Structures are given as structure tokens and as C-alpha cells.
């Protein structure tokens, strides 16, 4: 466990640089990103870094929610949240696509857009929160910060009476088991090259209460 207290904080654009660095380190070894941006080809780290930069920059520019865990005022974990009425809009921006083409290349951008569309096709009906990116910095992993980050996320999303739950996806089998232990159930699968991307759903307390009534 961390020796210093863990603070949960809503983040603004002042944390964009730290968020980019943390999420780059969290995603550069993920199997889905390795396929999307061709880890075997030169320049992979730059393509991942550029993709994370564009996603984080757009998220904060849209003033969308971001929940952070801080230890000694250092960002140790973060989750970007897309509220029900704003979800999945980033890839519809032509300026965002152009920046992605210039930084991540045509093949990486095309693969990312195809992956994004396939995940979107699995989404359930009704209003839900989505998680574009989430991660704990490698230096802080193994300290149960993932559980604390999920708890903070669930508490925050539960305050929206209109949301039916949270949707996320992962192609990492280790994370799949982690999410399932914390109440997520599989609602779809997407083939991302050789990777099986699992689309998962966690209901809000309101939905759980209705189901048990």
C-alpha cells in the first residue's frame, strides 16, 4: 500500500501533461495498442505517444471529466470519463483525424477508427458513461490503486441519476479478470487483429436496485 495518503481529485487541463505521460506508460505495452500502432515497426513509441496526446488534449479541451489519484501531489492514476451525452464524439472531428494522420500515420489512424467503430457497435441502448482511457502509472502498480480508482469512478458516476452504468473495453486478459472481480460483465467481443477486445458493463446503483426490487 502507498505510504502517503491517496487523494482523489477531479482534474482540469493543468494536469494534461502529467496525464499524457502516465497514460503513455500505461498503454505502450497493451496488446491492443501494440496491434493498432504496429509495435514491430519503427516509431511505435512515437505513435502511441501521439495518440495519447491527441486523446488527452481533446478530452480536456472539451472540458470532460477526469478523475485522478494523487500521492504527494503526484499523479499516480487517472481515468478519463465520457458522460452519456458526449461519448465517442472525438473520432468524428476532422481536425482530430487530421492530427492523428500526421502523427500516428494512415495505417494506425485507420486501425484505431475501425477499432473505435467496432466497440461503439457493442454499446447497449440508453445513457451510459464510457471510459476512453484509464491507467495507473507503472511506478505505482501493485499498490491496489486500480481498486481505488474504480471505487472513485463508481462513486462519481453514481451521482448521475440518468446514467445506467459504465462501459469500458480491454484486450488484456489480466485486466479482464480484474474488472470482472469488481462487478463488470461482458456484453460484447471485438476482433482487433489477433486481439480479442472485451466490452464490459458495470450497472449504476440505481439499475442494481431496480433489478433486485
Encode pLDDT of 65-105 as tens digits.
999 999 999 999 999 999 886 545 555 666 767 777 878 78
Nearest to 145 by CA among 205, 82, 72, 68: 68
d(CA 195, CA 18): 29
Percentage of the residues of the chain whose pLDDT score is greater than 90: 65
Determine the average pLDDT of the residues in 28-55.
Answer: 94
Q: What is the pTM of this model?
A: 0.89
Please, which pLDDT band fits residue 19 given cuts at 50, 70 and 90?
very high
CA distance 86 to 15: 21
Beta bridge partners of 186: 200
Label the pairing between strands 6-10 and 66-71. Answer: antiparallel
Alpha-carbon Rg of the chain, whole angstroms? 17
Fold of 6-212: Aminopeptidase (3.40.630)
Average pLDDT over all residues of the chain: 88
What per-residue confidence (pLDDT) applies to 100?
Answer: 79
Residues 6+ apart with CB under 8 A from 133: 23, 26, 27, 52, 55, 56, 78, 79, 80
Q: What number is the average pLDDT over the span 9-15?
A: 96
**Domain residue extents for the chain:** 6-212
Strand partners, 198: 170, 189
pLDDT of amino acid 125: 86
pLDDT recorded at residue 23 = 97
- On whether the CB atoms of residues 98 and 92 are closer than 8 A, the answer is no
The set of cell numbers assigned to 58 is 481533446
CB 129 within 8 A of CB 203: no
pLDDT band at 146 (very low <50, low <70, confident <90, very high): very high
Collapsing DSSP to helix, strand or coil, 137 comes out as coil
CA neighbours closer than 13 Å in the CB half-sphere of residue 83:
13
Amino acid at each position: 500500500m502507498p505510504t502517503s495518503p491517496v487523494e482523489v481529485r477531479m482534474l482540469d487541463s493543468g494536469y494534461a501533461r502529467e496525464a499524457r505521460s502516465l497514460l503513455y506508460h500505461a498503454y505502450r505495452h497493451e496488446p491492443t495498442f501494440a496491434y493498432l500502432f504496429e509495435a514491430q515497426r519503427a516509431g511505435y513509441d512515437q505513435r502511441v505517444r501521439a495518440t495519447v496526446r491527441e486523446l488527452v488534449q481533446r478530452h480536456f479541451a472539451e472540458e470532460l471529466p477526469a478523475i485522478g489519484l494523487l500521492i504527494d501531489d503526484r499523479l499516480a492514476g487517472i481515468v478519463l470519463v465520457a458522460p452519456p451525452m458526449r461519448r465517442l464524439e472525438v473520432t468524428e472531428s476532422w481536425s482530430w483525424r487530421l492530427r492523428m494522420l500526421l502523427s500516428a500515420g494512415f495505417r494506425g489512424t485507420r486501425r484505431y477508427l475501425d477499432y473505435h467503430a467496432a466497440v461503439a457497435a457493442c454499446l447497449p441502448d440508453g445513457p451510459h458513461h464510457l471510459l476512453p482511457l484509464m491507467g495507473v502509472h507503472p511506478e505505482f502498480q501493485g499498490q491496489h490503486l486500480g481498486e481505488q480508482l474504480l471505487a472513485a469512478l463508481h462513486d462519481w458516476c453514481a451521482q448521475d441519476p440518468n446514467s445506467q452504468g459504465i462501459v469500458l473495453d480491454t484486450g488484456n486478459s489480466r485486466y479482464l479478470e480484474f474488472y470482472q472481480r469488481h462487478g463488470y460483465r461482458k456484453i460484447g467481443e471485438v476482433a482487433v487483429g489477433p486481439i480479442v477486445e472485451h466490452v464490459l458493463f458495470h450497472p449504476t446503483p440505481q439499475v442494481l436496485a431496480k433489478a433486485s426490487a
